[in-house]
Structure 1
Amino acid sequence: MDVTLLKAILLAVISLVTLGFGLLPLKVMAILSHKQGKYAETAALATSLLSCFSGGVFLGVCFLDLLPGALESFESFKKDAQWETEYPWVPLLFMIGFFMVNIFETMIAKSFGHADAWHARRKCTTTYSPDANVEEACDTDSIDSRVAIVRSLTFVLALMFHSSLEGFAFGVQHSTVSVASLFCGIIAHKAVVAFSVGTKLAEAHPNKKWIVVVLISALALVASLGGVIGIILQNSSMDMEVKDGVICLLVTLSLGTFIYITFFEIVVPENSKSYNKYAQWISSVIGFAIIAGVMAFDEA
Protein backbone atom coordinates (compact mmCIF):
# COMPACT_ATOMS: atom_id res chain seq x y z
CA MET A 1 0.00 0.00 0.00
CA ASP A 2 1.17 3.51 -0.78
CA VAL A 3 2.61 5.19 2.33
CA THR A 4 0.63 8.39 1.78
CA LEU A 5 -2.65 6.45 1.52
CA LEU A 6 -1.75 4.43 4.61
CA LYS A 7 -1.09 7.62 6.58
CA ALA A 8 -4.41 9.10 5.45
CA ILE A 9 -6.32 5.99 6.61
CA LEU A 10 -4.53 5.84 9.95
CA LEU A 11 -5.06 9.57 10.56
CA ALA A 12 -8.80 8.99 10.12
CA VAL A 13 -8.60 6.12 12.63
CA ILE A 14 -6.76 8.36 15.11
CA SER A 15 -9.48 11.00 14.84
CA LEU A 16 -12.26 8.43 15.30
CA VAL A 17 -10.56 6.88 18.35
CA THR A 18 -10.04 10.34 19.86
CA LEU A 19 -13.69 11.20 19.26
CA GLY A 20 -14.98 7.91 20.64
CA PHE A 21 -12.90 7.86 23.82
CA GLY A 22 -13.40 11.60 24.35
CA LEU A 23 -17.20 11.30 24.26
CA LEU A 24 -17.34 8.07 26.29
CA PRO A 25 -17.21 9.94 29.66
CA LEU A 26 -20.52 11.63 28.78
CA LYS A 27 -22.20 8.24 29.03
CA VAL A 28 -20.24 7.30 32.15
CA MET A 29 -21.11 10.57 33.89
CA ALA A 30 -24.77 10.23 32.87
CA ILE A 31 -24.93 6.79 34.49
CA LEU A 32 -23.22 8.00 37.67
CA SER A 33 -25.37 11.13 37.96
CA HIS A 34 -28.58 9.07 38.04
CA LYS A 35 -27.51 7.10 41.08
CA GLN A 36 -29.62 7.84 44.14
CA GLY A 37 -29.71 6.97 47.81
CA LYS A 38 -26.79 4.94 49.09
CA TYR A 39 -25.36 4.75 45.57
CA ALA A 40 -25.11 8.53 45.23
CA GLU A 41 -22.04 8.75 47.48
CA THR A 42 -20.36 5.91 45.60
CA ALA A 43 -21.09 7.62 42.29
CA ALA A 44 -19.63 10.90 43.59
CA LEU A 45 -16.50 9.06 44.72
CA ALA A 46 -16.21 7.37 41.32
CA THR A 47 -16.45 10.76 39.62
CA SER A 48 -13.70 12.13 41.86
CA LEU A 49 -11.50 9.11 41.16
CA LEU A 50 -11.96 9.59 37.42
CA SER A 51 -10.84 13.20 37.80
CA CYS A 52 -7.80 12.10 39.84
CA PHE A 53 -7.01 9.55 37.13
CA SER A 54 -7.20 12.37 34.58
CA GLY A 55 -4.85 14.44 36.73
CA GLY A 56 -2.32 11.61 36.74
CA VAL A 57 -2.60 11.28 32.97
CA PHE A 58 -1.96 14.98 32.45
CA LEU A 59 1.00 14.91 34.85
CA GLY A 60 2.46 12.14 32.71
CA VAL A 61 1.82 14.11 29.53
CA CYS A 62 3.50 17.18 31.07
CA PHE A 63 6.67 15.62 32.43
CA LEU A 64 7.16 12.52 30.27
CA ASP A 65 6.02 13.83 26.89
CA LEU A 66 5.85 17.62 26.58
CA LEU A 67 8.91 18.51 28.69
CA PRO A 68 11.32 16.08 26.95
CA GLY A 69 9.91 17.22 23.60
CA ALA A 70 10.52 20.86 24.45
CA LEU A 71 14.08 20.14 25.60
CA GLU A 72 14.78 18.15 22.44
CA SER A 73 13.41 20.93 20.22
CA PHE A 74 15.52 23.50 22.06
CA GLU A 75 18.68 21.43 21.62
CA SER A 76 17.93 21.07 17.89
CA PHE A 77 17.34 24.81 17.64
CA LYS A 78 20.65 25.59 19.39
CA LYS A 79 22.49 23.20 17.08
CA ASP A 80 20.92 24.63 13.91
CA ALA A 81 21.44 28.23 15.06
CA GLN A 82 24.96 27.47 16.36
CA TRP A 83 23.97 29.11 19.62
CA GLU A 84 25.83 28.21 22.80
CA THR A 85 23.98 28.97 26.03
CA GLU A 86 23.55 27.37 29.42
CA TYR A 87 20.63 29.56 30.45
CA PRO A 88 17.50 27.53 31.38
CA TRP A 89 15.35 28.92 28.57
CA VAL A 90 12.89 26.02 28.53
CA PRO A 91 11.93 26.33 32.23
CA LEU A 92 11.72 30.11 31.81
CA LEU A 93 9.35 29.82 28.86
CA PHE A 94 7.06 27.25 30.42
CA MET A 95 6.81 29.40 33.56
CA ILE A 96 5.91 32.34 31.31
CA GLY A 97 3.15 30.14 29.88
CA PHE A 98 2.14 29.21 33.43
CA PHE A 99 1.82 32.83 34.56
CA MET A 100 0.09 33.82 31.32
CA VAL A 101 -2.70 31.33 32.01
CA ASN A 102 -2.74 32.38 35.65
CA ILE A 103 -3.29 36.08 34.89
CA PHE A 104 -5.71 35.19 32.09
CA GLU A 105 -7.93 33.20 34.46
CA THR A 106 -7.62 35.92 37.10
CA MET A 107 -8.82 38.51 34.59
CA ILE A 108 -11.69 36.26 33.52
CA ALA A 109 -12.74 35.65 37.12
CA LYS A 110 -12.51 39.38 37.83
CA SER A 111 -14.59 40.28 34.79
CA PHE A 112 -17.26 37.59 35.18
CA GLY A 113 -17.15 37.14 38.92
CA HIS A 114 -16.11 39.72 41.47
CA ALA A 115 -16.58 42.74 39.22
CA ASP A 116 -20.12 41.63 38.43
CA ALA A 117 -21.03 40.59 41.96
CA TRP A 118 -23.02 43.73 42.78
CA HIS A 119 -24.58 43.71 39.32
CA ALA A 120 -25.50 40.05 39.73
CA ARG A 121 -27.11 40.72 43.11
CA ARG A 122 -29.06 43.58 41.61
CA LYS A 123 -30.30 41.30 38.84
CA CYS A 124 -31.44 38.81 41.46
CA THR A 125 -33.67 41.36 43.16
CA THR A 126 -37.25 40.63 42.24
CA THR A 127 -38.81 43.64 40.56
CA TYR A 128 -42.04 44.19 38.75
CA SER A 129 -42.77 46.71 36.03
CA PRO A 130 -45.99 48.69 36.42
CA ASP A 131 -46.61 48.24 32.72
CA ALA A 132 -45.94 44.55 32.56
CA ASN A 133 -45.98 41.87 35.25
CA VAL A 134 -42.64 40.39 34.26
CA GLU A 135 -40.28 39.12 36.91
CA GLU A 136 -36.59 39.55 36.24
CA ALA A 137 -34.95 36.16 36.51
CA CYS A 138 -31.81 35.60 38.48
CA ASP A 139 -29.06 34.01 36.45
CA THR A 140 -25.95 34.10 38.59
CA ASP A 141 -25.05 30.57 37.51
CA SER A 142 -24.30 31.92 34.03
CA ILE A 143 -21.27 33.74 35.46
CA ASP A 144 -19.68 30.51 36.69
CA SER A 145 -20.71 28.84 33.44
CA ARG A 146 -18.86 31.41 31.34
CA VAL A 147 -15.73 31.08 33.49
CA ALA A 148 -15.87 27.28 33.12
CA ILE A 149 -16.23 27.59 29.34
CA VAL A 150 -13.18 29.88 29.11
CA ARG A 151 -11.13 27.50 31.27
CA SER A 152 -12.13 24.50 29.18
CA LEU A 153 -11.38 26.34 25.96
CA THR A 154 -7.92 27.37 27.22
CA PHE A 155 -7.17 23.81 28.27
CA VAL A 156 -8.35 22.23 25.01
CA LEU A 157 -6.49 24.79 22.88
CA ALA A 158 -3.22 23.85 24.61
CA LEU A 159 -3.98 20.17 24.07
CA MET A 160 -4.97 20.83 20.45
CA PHE A 161 -1.55 22.33 19.77
CA HIS A 162 0.13 19.28 21.29
CA SER A 163 -2.16 17.03 19.26
CA SER A 164 -1.36 18.88 16.04
CA LEU A 165 2.37 18.37 16.64
CA GLU A 166 1.80 14.65 17.13
CA GLY A 167 -0.13 14.57 13.87
CA PHE A 168 2.61 16.55 12.15
CA ALA A 169 5.28 14.12 13.39
CA PHE A 170 3.15 11.27 12.05
CA GLY A 171 2.61 12.96 8.69
CA VAL A 172 6.31 13.46 7.94
CA GLN A 173 7.22 9.77 8.32
CA HIS A 174 8.69 8.21 5.19
CA SER A 175 8.47 4.43 5.62
CA THR A 176 5.63 2.01 6.29
CA VAL A 177 7.45 0.63 9.35
CA SER A 178 7.90 4.06 10.95
CA VAL A 179 4.27 4.97 10.17
CA ALA A 180 2.95 1.75 11.74
CA SER A 181 5.13 1.97 14.85
CA LEU A 182 4.34 5.63 15.48
CA PHE A 183 0.63 4.93 14.93
CA CYS A 184 0.64 2.29 17.68
CA GLY A 185 2.20 4.73 20.14
CA ILE A 186 -0.10 7.62 19.20
CA ILE A 187 -3.32 5.57 19.27
CA ALA A 188 -2.66 4.26 22.80
CA HIS A 189 -1.72 7.75 23.97
CA LYS A 190 -4.77 9.32 22.30
CA ALA A 191 -7.23 6.87 23.82
CA VAL A 192 -6.09 7.52 27.39
CA VAL A 193 -5.72 11.29 27.03
CA ALA A 194 -9.01 11.71 25.15
CA PHE A 195 -10.91 9.80 27.84
CA SER A 196 -9.28 11.94 30.53
CA VAL A 197 -10.08 15.17 28.68
CA GLY A 198 -13.66 14.03 28.15
CA THR A 199 -13.96 13.23 31.86
CA LYS A 200 -12.77 16.68 32.87
CA LEU A 201 -15.04 18.44 30.36
CA ALA A 202 -18.08 16.33 31.27
CA GLU A 203 -17.54 17.16 34.94
CA ALA A 204 -17.09 20.87 34.21
CA HIS A 205 -20.19 21.11 31.96
CA PRO A 206 -22.74 18.58 33.26
CA ASN A 207 -25.70 20.48 31.79
CA LYS A 208 -24.10 21.54 28.51
CA LYS A 209 -23.11 18.39 26.70
CA TRP A 210 -22.83 20.27 23.41
CA ILE A 211 -19.73 22.04 24.74
CA VAL A 212 -18.06 18.68 25.38
CA VAL A 213 -19.05 17.40 21.93
CA VAL A 214 -17.74 20.52 20.16
CA LEU A 215 -14.41 20.61 22.02
CA ILE A 216 -13.75 16.87 21.68
CA SER A 217 -14.66 17.01 17.98
CA ALA A 218 -12.23 19.89 17.47
CA LEU A 219 -9.54 17.94 19.32
CA ALA A 220 -10.15 14.88 17.12
CA LEU A 221 -10.01 16.97 13.95
CA VAL A 222 -6.78 18.78 14.81
CA ALA A 223 -4.68 15.61 14.92
CA SER A 224 -5.68 14.80 11.35
CA LEU A 225 -5.06 18.38 10.22
CA GLY A 226 -1.57 18.26 11.71
CA GLY A 227 -0.94 15.00 9.88
CA VAL A 228 -2.16 16.45 6.58
CA ILE A 229 0.18 19.42 7.01
CA GLY A 230 3.02 17.00 7.74
CA ILE A 231 2.25 15.02 4.58
CA ILE A 232 2.18 18.22 2.49
CA LEU A 233 5.46 19.46 3.92
CA GLN A 234 7.18 16.08 3.77
CA ASN A 235 8.80 16.77 0.41
CA SER A 236 8.97 20.56 0.68
CA SER A 237 12.04 22.53 1.72
CA MET A 238 11.88 23.99 5.21
CA ASP A 239 14.29 26.01 7.31
CA MET A 240 14.99 23.61 10.18
CA GLU A 241 16.26 26.42 12.41
CA VAL A 242 13.00 28.33 12.14
CA LYS A 243 10.89 25.18 12.50
CA ASP A 244 12.69 23.98 15.63
CA GLY A 245 12.59 27.45 17.17
CA VAL A 246 8.85 27.90 16.64
CA ILE A 247 8.03 24.37 17.81
CA CYS A 248 10.18 24.77 20.92
CA LEU A 249 8.54 28.11 21.79
CA LEU A 250 4.97 26.90 21.33
CA VAL A 251 5.46 23.50 23.00
CA THR A 252 7.12 25.12 26.01
CA LEU A 253 4.38 27.73 26.43
CA SER A 254 1.72 25.01 26.15
CA LEU A 255 3.62 23.01 28.79
CA GLY A 256 3.13 25.89 31.22
CA THR A 257 -0.58 25.83 30.43
CA PHE A 258 -0.77 22.10 31.11
CA ILE A 259 1.08 22.38 34.41
CA TYR A 260 -1.17 25.19 35.64
CA ILE A 261 -4.41 23.44 34.72
CA THR A 262 -3.25 20.03 35.97
CA PHE A 263 -2.39 21.32 39.43
CA PHE A 264 -4.83 24.19 39.97
CA GLU A 265 -7.86 22.84 38.10
CA ILE A 266 -7.64 19.09 38.73
CA VAL A 267 -5.21 17.82 41.39
CA VAL A 268 -5.64 20.47 44.10
CA PRO A 269 -9.46 20.79 43.83
CA GLU A 270 -9.92 17.01 43.96
CA ASN A 271 -7.60 16.60 46.95
CA SER A 272 -9.60 19.24 48.82
CA LYS A 273 -12.73 17.05 48.61
CA SER A 274 -13.60 14.82 51.56
CA TYR A 275 -13.10 11.47 49.85
CA ASN A 276 -10.69 8.63 50.50
CA LYS A 277 -7.27 10.22 49.98
CA TYR A 278 -5.54 6.89 49.39
CA ALA A 279 -8.01 5.98 46.64
CA GLN A 280 -7.49 9.39 45.02
CA TRP A 281 -3.72 8.96 45.21
CA ILE A 282 -3.89 5.48 43.68
CA SER A 283 -6.10 6.79 40.85
CA SER A 284 -3.61 9.55 40.06
CA VAL A 285 -0.69 7.11 40.14
CA ILE A 286 -2.51 4.72 37.80
CA GLY A 287 -3.13 7.55 35.32
CA PHE A 288 0.53 8.58 35.47
CA ALA A 289 1.72 4.96 35.20
CA ILE A 290 -0.37 4.35 32.08
CA ILE A 291 1.24 7.31 30.31
CA ALA A 292 4.67 6.11 31.51
CA GLY A 293 3.90 2.68 30.06
CA VAL A 294 2.70 4.14 26.77
CA MET A 295 5.87 6.24 26.49
CA ALA A 296 8.02 3.16 27.24
CA PHE A 297 6.14 1.20 24.57
CA ASP A 298 6.70 4.05 22.13
CA GLU A 299 10.46 3.86 22.80
CA ALA A 300 10.57 0.09 22.25
Structure 2
Amino acid sequence: MDPLLGVKIGCLAGLLVVPLLCGLIPAQIQWFQINMARGKHRRVLSIIGCFAAGVFLGACIMHMVADALGDIKEEIEKRQHLGAVNATSEGGDSEGYPFGELVISFGFFLVFFIESVVLSCCPQSVHAHGDPEAHNDPKAAPESHSSFRAFVLFLSLSFHSVFEGLAIGVQKEETGAVQLCLAVLIHKAIVAFSLALKLVQSGTQARWRLLYLVVFALMSPVGIAIGIGVSLSNGDGSGLAQAVLEGVAAGTFLYVTFLEILPSELRSHENPLIKFVFIGFGFSSMALIAIWA
Protein backbone atom coordinates (compact mmCIF):
# COMPACT_ATOMS: atom_id res chain seq x y z
CA MET A 1 0.00 0.00 0.00
CA ASP A 2 1.12 3.52 -0.80
CA PRO A 3 2.39 5.12 2.48
CA LEU A 4 0.41 8.32 1.80
CA LEU A 5 -2.77 6.30 1.25
CA GLY A 6 -2.12 4.43 4.50
CA VAL A 7 -1.76 7.71 6.40
CA LYS A 8 -5.02 8.99 4.96
CA ILE A 9 -6.85 5.80 5.92
CA GLY A 10 -5.47 6.14 9.45
CA CYS A 11 -6.71 9.74 9.54
CA LEU A 12 -10.11 8.52 8.35
CA ALA A 13 -10.36 6.02 11.20
CA GLY A 14 -9.23 8.55 13.82
CA LEU A 15 -11.70 11.18 12.66
CA LEU A 16 -14.49 8.63 12.93
CA VAL A 17 -13.77 7.16 16.36
CA VAL A 18 -12.49 10.09 18.46
CA PRO A 19 -15.29 12.63 17.73
CA LEU A 20 -17.93 9.93 18.20
CA LEU A 21 -16.52 9.03 21.63
CA CYS A 22 -16.32 12.70 22.65
CA GLY A 23 -19.89 13.27 21.50
CA LEU A 24 -21.22 10.31 23.46
CA ILE A 25 -19.98 11.76 26.78
CA PRO A 26 -22.68 14.43 27.24
CA ALA A 27 -25.18 12.58 25.07
CA GLN A 28 -25.26 9.40 27.15
CA ILE A 29 -24.35 10.50 30.69
CA GLN A 30 -27.24 11.77 32.82
CA TRP A 31 -25.01 14.21 34.70
CA PHE A 32 -25.23 16.52 31.68
CA GLN A 33 -29.05 16.63 31.70
CA ILE A 34 -29.82 20.31 32.37
CA ASN A 35 -33.33 19.70 33.72
CA MET A 36 -31.86 17.48 36.46
CA ALA A 37 -29.26 19.98 37.61
CA ARG A 38 -29.53 22.02 40.79
CA GLY A 39 -27.22 24.39 42.69
CA LYS A 40 -23.51 23.84 42.04
CA HIS A 41 -24.27 21.14 39.47
CA ARG A 42 -26.25 23.63 37.40
CA ARG A 43 -23.55 26.30 37.71
CA VAL A 44 -20.90 23.87 36.44
CA LEU A 45 -23.10 22.91 33.50
CA SER A 46 -23.66 26.60 32.75
CA ILE A 47 -19.89 27.17 32.68
CA ILE A 48 -19.44 24.19 30.34
CA GLY A 49 -22.22 25.59 28.18
CA CYS A 50 -20.46 28.95 27.99
CA PHE A 51 -17.24 27.23 26.95
CA ALA A 52 -19.20 25.36 24.24
CA ALA A 53 -20.71 28.66 23.08
CA GLY A 54 -17.20 30.09 22.74
CA VAL A 55 -16.17 27.00 20.78
CA PHE A 56 -19.02 27.51 18.33
CA LEU A 57 -18.25 31.22 18.04
CA GLY A 58 -14.60 30.43 17.27
CA ALA A 59 -15.52 27.63 14.86
CA CYS A 60 -17.90 30.02 13.12
CA ILE A 61 -15.53 32.97 12.68
CA MET A 62 -12.07 31.37 12.67
CA HIS A 63 -12.90 28.25 10.66
CA MET A 64 -16.17 28.15 8.73
CA VAL A 65 -16.45 31.80 7.68
CA ALA A 66 -12.70 32.20 7.19
CA ASP A 67 -12.46 28.99 5.11
CA ALA A 68 -15.48 29.89 3.00
CA LEU A 69 -14.24 33.43 2.26
CA GLY A 70 -10.77 32.16 1.39
CA ASP A 71 -12.02 29.37 -0.86
CA ILE A 72 -14.52 31.55 -2.71
CA LYS A 73 -11.91 34.27 -3.27
CA GLU A 74 -9.41 31.69 -4.50
CA GLU A 75 -11.86 30.17 -6.97
CA ILE A 76 -12.93 33.57 -8.32
CA GLU A 77 -9.32 34.67 -8.76
CA LYS A 78 -8.52 31.39 -10.48
CA ARG A 79 -11.30 31.94 -13.01
CA GLN A 80 -10.34 35.57 -13.50
CA HIS A 81 -6.82 34.44 -14.28
CA LEU A 82 -8.09 31.87 -16.79
CA GLY A 83 -10.39 34.41 -18.42
CA ALA A 84 -13.59 32.67 -17.32
CA VAL A 85 -14.62 35.72 -15.28
CA ASN A 86 -13.67 39.25 -16.34
CA ALA A 87 -12.37 41.36 -13.50
CA THR A 88 -13.55 44.52 -15.28
CA SER A 89 -16.16 45.30 -17.86
CA GLU A 90 -17.48 48.31 -19.72
CA GLY A 91 -20.03 48.80 -16.93
CA GLY A 92 -17.40 49.17 -14.20
CA ASP A 93 -15.02 47.32 -11.95
CA SER A 94 -16.38 44.18 -10.20
CA GLU A 95 -13.09 42.97 -8.78
CA GLY A 96 -13.74 44.27 -5.29
CA TYR A 97 -17.30 42.97 -4.94
CA PRO A 98 -17.69 40.85 -1.76
CA PHE A 99 -19.01 37.65 -3.40
CA GLY A 100 -17.97 35.51 -0.43
CA GLU A 101 -19.88 37.66 2.03
CA LEU A 102 -22.90 37.57 -0.30
CA VAL A 103 -22.91 33.76 -0.35
CA ILE A 104 -22.58 33.56 3.44
CA SER A 105 -25.41 36.07 3.82
CA PHE A 106 -27.56 33.91 1.57
CA GLY A 107 -26.99 30.94 3.90
CA PHE A 108 -27.92 33.13 6.88
CA PHE A 109 -31.17 34.36 5.31
CA LEU A 110 -31.99 30.90 4.00
CA VAL A 111 -32.22 29.50 7.54
CA PHE A 112 -33.98 32.68 8.70
CA PHE A 113 -36.59 32.19 5.97
CA ILE A 114 -37.06 28.47 6.63
CA GLU A 115 -37.47 29.01 10.36
CA SER A 116 -39.92 31.86 9.76
CA VAL A 117 -42.01 29.63 7.50
CA VAL A 118 -41.91 26.76 10.00
CA LEU A 119 -42.94 29.03 12.88
CA SER A 120 -45.72 30.62 10.82
CA CYS A 121 -47.18 27.35 9.58
CA CYS A 122 -46.65 25.21 12.68
CA PRO A 123 -45.54 27.08 15.84
CA GLN A 124 -45.14 23.86 17.86
CA SER A 125 -42.84 22.21 15.33
CA VAL A 126 -39.70 23.78 16.82
CA HIS A 127 -39.95 21.03 19.45
CA ALA A 128 -40.66 18.23 16.98
CA HIS A 129 -37.77 16.12 18.21
CA GLY A 130 -37.85 17.43 21.75
CA ASP A 131 -38.51 15.87 25.10
CA PRO A 132 -42.27 15.36 25.59
CA GLU A 133 -41.98 16.76 29.12
CA ALA A 134 -41.00 20.14 27.67
CA HIS A 135 -44.46 20.45 26.15
CA ASN A 136 -46.12 19.95 29.54
CA ASP A 137 -43.98 22.41 31.47
CA PRO A 138 -44.95 26.01 30.63
CA LYS A 139 -41.92 27.34 32.50
CA ALA A 140 -39.48 25.18 30.51
CA ALA A 141 -40.72 26.21 27.06
CA PRO A 142 -39.23 29.75 26.94
CA GLU A 143 -35.85 28.50 28.18
CA SER A 144 -35.59 25.42 25.99
CA HIS A 145 -33.42 25.51 22.90
CA SER A 146 -35.15 25.21 19.55
CA SER A 147 -34.86 21.66 18.24
CA PHE A 148 -35.12 23.09 14.75
CA ARG A 149 -32.05 25.23 15.35
CA ALA A 150 -30.27 22.26 16.93
CA PHE A 151 -30.98 20.35 13.73
CA VAL A 152 -29.66 23.23 11.60
CA LEU A 153 -26.57 23.36 13.81
CA PHE A 154 -26.01 19.66 13.20
CA LEU A 155 -26.46 20.03 9.43
CA SER A 156 -24.10 22.99 9.06
CA LEU A 157 -21.40 21.36 11.20
CA SER A 158 -21.74 18.09 9.32
CA PHE A 159 -21.52 19.83 5.96
CA HIS A 160 -18.41 21.73 7.02
CA SER A 161 -16.86 18.49 8.29
CA VAL A 162 -17.05 17.05 4.77
CA PHE A 163 -14.83 19.86 3.49
CA GLU A 164 -12.40 19.45 6.38
CA GLY A 165 -12.05 15.79 5.45
CA LEU A 166 -11.78 16.67 1.77
CA ALA A 167 -8.80 18.92 2.53
CA ILE A 168 -7.04 15.98 4.20
CA GLY A 169 -7.92 13.55 1.40
CA VAL A 170 -6.35 15.68 -1.33
CA GLN A 171 -3.02 16.22 0.50
CA LYS A 172 0.01 15.22 -1.56
CA GLU A 173 2.47 14.71 1.31
CA GLU A 174 2.29 12.51 4.42
CA THR A 175 3.48 15.29 6.75
CA GLY A 176 0.83 17.69 5.49
CA ALA A 177 -1.92 15.08 5.87
CA VAL A 178 -0.92 14.22 9.45
CA GLN A 179 -0.53 17.86 10.51
CA LEU A 180 -3.91 18.84 9.09
CA CYS A 181 -5.54 15.71 10.53
CA LEU A 182 -4.33 16.49 14.05
CA ALA A 183 -5.71 20.03 13.87
CA VAL A 184 -9.05 18.82 12.51
CA LEU A 185 -9.17 15.99 15.06
CA ILE A 186 -8.75 18.34 18.04
CA HIS A 187 -11.21 20.79 16.54
CA LYS A 188 -13.82 18.15 15.76
CA ALA A 189 -13.48 16.39 19.13
CA ILE A 190 -14.23 19.64 20.99
CA VAL A 191 -17.05 20.53 18.59
CA ALA A 192 -18.56 17.03 18.88
CA PHE A 193 -18.69 17.38 22.66
CA SER A 194 -20.22 20.85 22.35
CA LEU A 195 -22.74 19.69 19.73
CA ALA A 196 -23.85 16.81 21.94
CA LEU A 197 -24.22 19.21 24.87
CA LYS A 198 -26.44 21.49 22.79
CA LEU A 199 -28.55 18.55 21.63
CA VAL A 200 -29.03 17.55 25.27
CA GLN A 201 -29.97 21.11 26.22
CA SER A 202 -32.46 21.34 23.34
CA GLY A 203 -34.37 18.34 24.68
CA THR A 204 -33.60 16.23 21.61
CA GLN A 205 -34.56 12.62 22.28
CA ALA A 206 -31.78 10.08 22.84
CA ARG A 207 -32.31 8.18 19.59
CA TRP A 208 -32.08 11.39 17.57
CA ARG A 209 -28.98 12.53 19.49
CA LEU A 210 -27.26 9.24 18.72
CA LEU A 211 -28.22 9.44 15.04
CA TYR A 212 -26.98 13.02 14.75
CA LEU A 213 -23.66 12.19 16.42
CA VAL A 214 -23.05 9.11 14.27
CA VAL A 215 -23.77 11.06 11.07
CA PHE A 216 -21.62 13.98 12.25
CA ALA A 217 -18.72 11.62 13.05
CA LEU A 218 -19.03 10.06 9.57
CA MET A 219 -18.83 13.33 7.65
CA SER A 220 -15.06 13.96 7.87
CA PRO A 221 -14.25 10.34 6.89
CA VAL A 222 -16.63 10.71 3.95
CA GLY A 223 -14.77 13.88 2.96
CA ILE A 224 -11.42 12.09 3.22
CA ALA A 225 -12.72 9.26 1.04
CA ILE A 226 -13.92 11.74 -1.56
CA GLY A 227 -10.57 13.55 -1.42
CA ILE A 228 -8.69 10.29 -1.91
CA GLY A 229 -10.84 9.54 -4.93
CA VAL A 230 -10.25 13.01 -6.36
CA SER A 231 -6.48 12.77 -5.80
CA LEU A 232 -6.33 9.35 -7.45
CA SER A 233 -8.35 10.49 -10.44
CA ASN A 234 -6.48 13.79 -10.75
CA GLY A 235 -9.81 15.66 -10.91
CA ASP A 236 -10.30 19.26 -9.75
CA GLY A 237 -13.37 18.46 -7.65
CA SER A 238 -15.57 21.32 -8.94
CA GLY A 239 -13.88 23.83 -6.64
CA LEU A 240 -16.24 26.77 -7.18
CA ALA A 241 -19.37 24.74 -6.42
CA GLN A 242 -17.73 23.36 -3.27
CA ALA A 243 -16.69 26.85 -2.15
CA VAL A 244 -20.22 28.21 -2.65
CA LEU A 245 -21.78 25.33 -0.73
CA GLU A 246 -19.27 25.85 2.07
CA GLY A 247 -20.22 29.54 2.15
CA VAL A 248 -23.91 28.65 2.48
CA ALA A 249 -23.06 26.26 5.34
CA ALA A 250 -21.06 29.03 7.05
CA GLY A 251 -24.05 31.36 6.77
CA THR A 252 -26.37 28.82 8.39
CA PHE A 253 -23.87 28.33 11.21
CA LEU A 254 -23.57 32.10 11.64
CA TYR A 255 -27.34 32.31 12.13
CA VAL A 256 -27.49 29.56 14.76
CA THR A 257 -24.41 30.84 16.61
CA PHE A 258 -25.62 34.42 17.05
CA LEU A 259 -29.38 33.88 17.32
CA GLU A 260 -29.48 30.66 19.36
CA ILE A 261 -26.26 29.55 21.04
CA LEU A 262 -24.87 32.82 22.42
CA PRO A 263 -28.24 34.29 23.53
CA SER A 264 -29.21 31.08 25.31
CA GLU A 265 -25.98 31.10 27.34
CA LEU A 266 -25.93 34.85 28.01
CA ARG A 267 -29.41 34.85 29.52
CA SER A 268 -28.43 32.32 32.21
CA HIS A 269 -28.19 33.52 35.82
CA GLU A 270 -24.44 33.07 36.25
CA ASN A 271 -21.96 35.91 36.86
CA PRO A 272 -21.55 37.82 33.55
CA LEU A 273 -17.76 38.04 34.01
CA ILE A 274 -17.51 34.26 34.48
CA LYS A 275 -19.58 33.74 31.34
CA PHE A 276 -17.29 36.13 29.44
CA VAL A 277 -14.17 34.29 30.62
CA PHE A 278 -15.37 30.84 29.58
CA ILE A 279 -16.86 32.00 26.28
CA GLY A 280 -13.50 33.66 25.59
CA PHE A 281 -11.70 30.47 26.60
CA GLY A 282 -13.76 28.42 24.15
CA PHE A 283 -13.16 30.95 21.37
CA SER A 284 -9.41 31.01 22.11
CA SER A 285 -9.18 27.23 21.77
CA MET A 286 -10.58 27.45 18.23
CA ALA A 287 -8.33 30.43 17.44
CA LEU A 288 -5.24 28.44 18.48
CA ILE A 289 -6.29 25.44 16.40
CA ALA A 290 -6.63 27.76 13.39
CA ILE A 291 -2.85 28.28 13.51
CA TRP A 292 -2.30 24.70 12.31
CA ALA A 293 -5.54 24.07 10.41
Q: Which of the two has higher C-alpha Rg?
A: 1
The residue correspondences of 1:146-165 to structure 2 (distance < 5 A) are 148-165=146-163
Q: Tell me the CA shift for residue 263 of structure 1.
A: 1.2
For structure 1, list consecutive stretches of 5 or more residues without a partner in the other structure: 117-137
1:140 CA drift (Å): 4.6
Q: Partners of 2:199 and 2:34 in 1: how far apart?
A: 18
**d(CA) in 1 for partners of 2:199, 2:18:** 17
Q: Given that residues 51 and 266 in structure 1 are in contact (C-alpha distance below 8 angstroms), is that contact kept between their aligned partners in structure 2?
A: no
Corresponding pairs, count: 268
**Pairing of 1:130-169 with structure 2 (within 5 A):** 140=135, 148-169=146-167
Q: Which residue of 1 aligns with 2:208?
A: 211
The corresponding residue for 1:247 is 242
Deviates most, 57-66 or 73-82: 73-82
What SS does structure 2 have at the residue aligned with 1:174?
Answer: coil
CA RMSD of aligned residues (A): 2.6
CA 1:266–1:10: 2 relative to 1, 3 Å: same
After TM superposition, the structure 1 = structure 2 runs for residues 68-87 of structure 1, keeping only pairs within 5 Å, are 68-82=66-80, 83=85, 84=87, 85-87=95-97
Q: Which amino acid aligns with 2:165?
A: G
Give, in angstroms, the shift of residue 255 of structure 1: 1.2
Structure 1 residue ranges (4+ consecutive) displaced by more than 4 angstroms after TM superposition: 32-36, 138-142
Deviates more, 1:280-289 or 1:77-86: 77-86
Give the TM-score taking structure 2 as reference length. 0.83
- Relative to structure 1, is the Cα distance of residues 115 and 168 closer, same or farther in structure 2, using a 3 angstrom cutoff? closer
Cα deviation for residue 239 of structure 1 reads 4.4
Question: Structure 2 CA distance, aligned partners of 1:69 and 1:20?
Answer: 26
User: What's 1:232 paired with?
Assistant: 229
Contact kept? 1:205, 1:212, Cα under 8 Å? no
Choose the corresponding residue for 1:257, options 252, 257, 269: 252
Which residue, 253, 261, 270 being the options, matches 1:275?
270
Counterpart code for 2:287: A
Measure, in 2, the Cα distance between the counterparts of 1:248 and 1:47: 36
Distance change in 2, residues 1:292/1:156 (3 Å): same
| Runs of 5+ unmatched residues, structure 2 | 88-94, 127-132
Q: Is the 8 A contact 1:163 1:222 kept in 2?
A: yes
TM-score in terms of structure 1 length: 0.81
- Give, in whole Å, the separation in 1 of the partners of 2:33 and 2:171: 44
- Structure 1 residue 163: Cα displacement: 0.2
* Offset at residue 288 of structure 1 (A): 0.2
What fraction of aligned residue pairs are identical, expressed as a percent? 27
Residue 11 of structure 1: aligned partner? 12
